Amino acid sequence: MSTTAETPHHKLKLLLIEDNDADARLVHEIVLARAAGTFEVERVSRLKEGLERLGLGGIDAVVLDLGLPDSHGVESVSKLHAQAPNVSIVVLSGTDDEALAVDALHRGAQDYLVKGQVSAVVFVHSVRYAVERQRMEEALAHERDLLAALLDKIPDRIYFKDRKSRFVRIGRAVAAQFGLTDPAQAAGKTDFDFFTAEHAQPAFDDEQQIMRSGEPLVGKVEKETLSDGSVTWALTTKMPLRDHHGRIIGTFGISKDMTDLHTVEEALATERNLLRSLLDNLPDLVYIKDTESRYLLNNSAHLAFLGAPDQQAVTGKTAADFLDLPVATKAHTDDRRVFQTGQPLINHEEVSMDYTGRQYWLLTTRVPLRDSDGRVTGLVGISRDITRRKQAEENAARYARLLRDKNAEMEGELNLAREVQVAFLPQRYPTFPRNADADESALKFVHRYLPAGMLGGDFFDVRALSDSRVGVLVCDVMGHGVRAALEMAILRALVEELSPHAGEPSRFLEAMNHELWSILRHREAASFATAFYLVADVATGRICCANAGHPGPLRVRRGPGRDFQVQTAACATGPALGLLADSTYGQSDHDLAPGDLILLFTDGLYEIENAGGESFGRERLLAAVQRRAQLAPAALCDELLVEIQQFAGSREFPDDVCVVGMEVARLLADAAKPK
């Protein structure tokens, strides 16, 4: 290919492929006569030689004879054009054949001349014009290639339209949007063929306005709804299309697909709206400040706190523009601390005032804002009104003090009640006979009393009925605490009142039951008490007992020949006291021998569980007493309590515990019989 421009110092290089010497001389003579300063002729006589010469370059045009020794006809044109497509070819043939001429032109020739019919002037002009046409075609081809590359490769949608807004040419991106396999398929069609009228009509109107005014439409955001209902968004610029005379012959445009960007922008806008809605509906005070403590954003609650009508009234201002100086100064100091340290201030309790001077307790958090490089650019603050909570805390503290004072008062009263309750229990045991020393008494007693709280519902009584007879009572009021203690006091009073019946266990329990029922029957909450009462006579060696729903006592036979036997003392059981008006109780008699130990107790002694939920139970109680049968009553009671506490893993009993032991030291053979 020759790219050398024709100048006064450059001749066009003409390759003549001609085997006829006469014709060759004629061409040389024409050139010498008409274009000696323009053309420089180089001759070969065969096509093969011409192809080789073209391969060396530097040739601007070829004059070709179709009748060569090694090639004949228009096929020679095809071979030359294939070898050097950018070199002009002028056919100089001896055959005047229009069809042949047209075929040659189609195969790449620029002109077809007939020997003997061409003047020197025509020949020179033909060759020169062929060279110029070739150069123009090369330039046009280059521009076409650039335009084709632009239309085929650029992802933006490019299109050209005529004055009726019909597509003249479209890029491949437009074809893809329309679902076309070939951009040429859009020729002659309009936007109405591909879009709904929602987009097609405004687009048509815009293009007609551009052609009327000659003014472009730049950067319009368009919603494009295709015929299948799919929606895209585009940033469109359209220009008037002019011919080489400057006349408007249509429009051309470029649309950049911004669907993804629009989707992101919509999502961001939605998030902004949601965030704004959240901020404005939060009761907390939320604000954003720059590093000069100037407000950038405030939610509705904080605007109200500042007394500002809207965001515009606050932006760029500081707390000092709205609040008292001490409050604003404190806020500024806390802001500076966050800016200087870069550390958040979390859940800081502070006293503040709004623009009216009303005082609040606020729980405030300040967090630094950072840019992509980690530099602090401001802060986000959120303050929660905790005034009610602080008032509640103050009230709770005041109530706690009052409660402590009241509890101390009640504790004093309970201590007094405990002292009174303890006073109800036997302080000294009777001796038998009546005037005997304690060490010489025929009956000896021991007890252990462990209330579950400050006050207990268990009760026992040991009273002498004569020089040889004793009455021993153990009671257990339902529940424990103050109510049980009060009912225990009632029982204590009834014991004194009914002492004339104390010599007969069944009659004594029947009288207690009737009186207790009369007292408790009007109460809404059910209440009752269990009781075991025995009368022992060391003169006759007999024991008589009655039971009102109470655990039966244990009898340890420790006299000579009895081998420390432990057994439950059999006694007929009746209903608990206070449940029925006229309950009756059976009575059992047993012998009594020196060395015998009778253990009376309440159920709190063995109804206790360990960590695994296993109850100590009566069988373990019987075994524990058996292992200690040889001990003195006091030691037996103490060790028994320790074992039960170890089993439960606690020194505390969940229920009241009362244990009474009666040991028969000897019998009184000569004692007087009771009256």
Percent of the chain with pLDDT over 70: 92
Residue-wise pLDDT tens digits, 305-314: 999 999 999 9
The CA distance from 127 to 603, in Å, is 136
SS3 112: strand
Bridging pattern class, strands 458-464 and 12-17: unpaired
Beta strands in 94-156 (DSSP E): 111-114
* pLDDT above 60 (res 575): yes
DSSP 500: G
Q: How many helices (H) and strands (E) does the chain have?
A: 15, 26
For 30, the enclosing helix (H) or strand (E) is helix 21-34
Q: Out of 3.30.200.20, 3.30.930.10, 3.60.40.10, 3.40.50.720, which CATH number does the structure's domain 425-603+658-664 have?
A: 3.60.40.10
The CA distance from 129 to 38, in Å, is 13
Per the CB < 8 A criterion, the answer to whether 245 and 226 are in contact is: no
* pLDDT at res. 573: 92
Q: What are the boundaries of each domain within the chain? A: 12-149, 154-263, 282-385, 425-603+658-664
The CA distance from 86 to 108, in Å, is 10
Per the CB < 8 A criterion, the answer to whether 667 and 601 are in contact is: no
Secondary structure of 219-278 in HEC code, one letter for each residue: EEEEEEEECCCCEEEEEEEEEEEECCCCCEEEEEEEEEECHHHHHHHHHHHHHHHHHHHH
Distances in whole angstroms, Cα of residue 597 to Cα of each of 392, 426, 565, 669: 61, 19, 10, 19
Average the pLDDT over 643-658 and give the result. 92
* pLDDT at res. 7: 43
Single out the residue of 439, 421, 419, 496 nearest to residue 463, CA to CA: 496
* pLDDT at res. 534: 95
Q: Do domains 12-149 and 282-385 have the same CATH topology?
A: no
Q: How confident is the model at residue 2 (pLDDT cuts 50, 70, 90)?
A: very low
The CA distance from 537 to 535, in Å, is 7
- The one-letter amino acid at 487: E
For the domain covering 154-263, report its CATH number. Answer: 3.30.450.20
pTM: 0.46
The CA distance from 492 to 490, in Å, is 5
For 368, the enclosing helix (H) or strand (E) is strand 359-370
Max mean pLDDT range (39-53, 124-138, 617-631): 617-631
Per the CB < 8 A criterion, the answer to whether 631 and 446 are in contact is: no
SS3 437: coil
The CA distance from 131 to 133, in Å, is 6
Per the CB < 8 A criterion, the answer to whether 328 and 306 are in contact is: no
SS3 367: strand
Beta strands in 549-656 (DSSP E): 554-557, 565-568, 573-574, 588-591, 597-601
For the domain covering 12-149, report its CATH number. Answer: 3.40.50.2300
**CB atoms near residue 83 (< 10 Å):** 16
Tokens at 640, concatenated: 């028994």
The CA distance from 203 to 342, in Å, is 54
Residue-wise pLDDT tens digits, 489-533: 888 888 889 999 999 999 999 999 999 898 888 776 778 899 999
Residue-wise pLDDT tens digits, 452-465: 877 777 889 999 99
- The one-letter amino acid at 43: R
For 39, the enclosing helix (H) or strand (E) is strand 39-44
Identify the bridge partners of residue 555 per DSSP, sorted by sequence position.
Answer: 567, 598
* pLDDT at res. 671: 46
Per the CB < 8 A criterion, the answer to whether 15 and 39 are in contact is: no
Residue-wise pLDDT tens digits, 462-485: 999 999 999 999 999 887 667 777
* pLDDT at res. 288: 92
Single out the residue of 554, 517, 560 nearest to residue 534, CA to CA: 554
* pLDDT above 70 (res 675): no
The CA distance from 154 to 174, in Å, is 10
Q: How confident is the model at residue 415 (pLDDT cuts 50, 70, 90)?
A: low
Per the CB < 8 A criterion, the answer to whether 200 and 192 are in contact is: yes
Q: Which residues, 6+ apart, have CB-to-CB distance to 568 below 8 Å? A: 552, 553, 554, 555, 622
If you search the block for the tokens 């268990």, which residue do you land on?
458
The CA distance from 398 to 393, in Å, is 8
* pLDDT at res. 413: 57
In terms of CATH, what superfamily is 282-385? PAS domain (3.30.450.20)
Q: How confident is the model at residue 237 (pLDDT cuts 50, 70, 90)?
A: very high
* pLDDT above 90 (res 250): yes
Bridging pattern class, strands 345-353 and 573-574: unpaired
* pLDDT at res. 333: 94
Percent of the chain with pLDDT over 90: 49
* pLDDT above 60 (res 637): yes
The CA distance from 445 to 362, in Å, is 69
Average the pLDDT over 581-593 and give the result. 92
Residue-wise pLDDT tens digits, 293-307: 999 999 999 999 999
Measured in whole angstroms, the distance separating CA 432 from the mean position of its chain's CA atoms is: 81
Q: Is 246 left (phi over 0), alpha (psi -120 to 50) or beta?
A: left
* pLDDT above 70 (res 9): no
If you search the block for the tokens 């004629």, which residue do you land on?
26
CA torsion 229-232-236-239 (nearest 10°) is -30
The CA distance from 52 to 397, in Å, is 113
- Compute the radius of gyration of the chain from its Cα atoms: 62
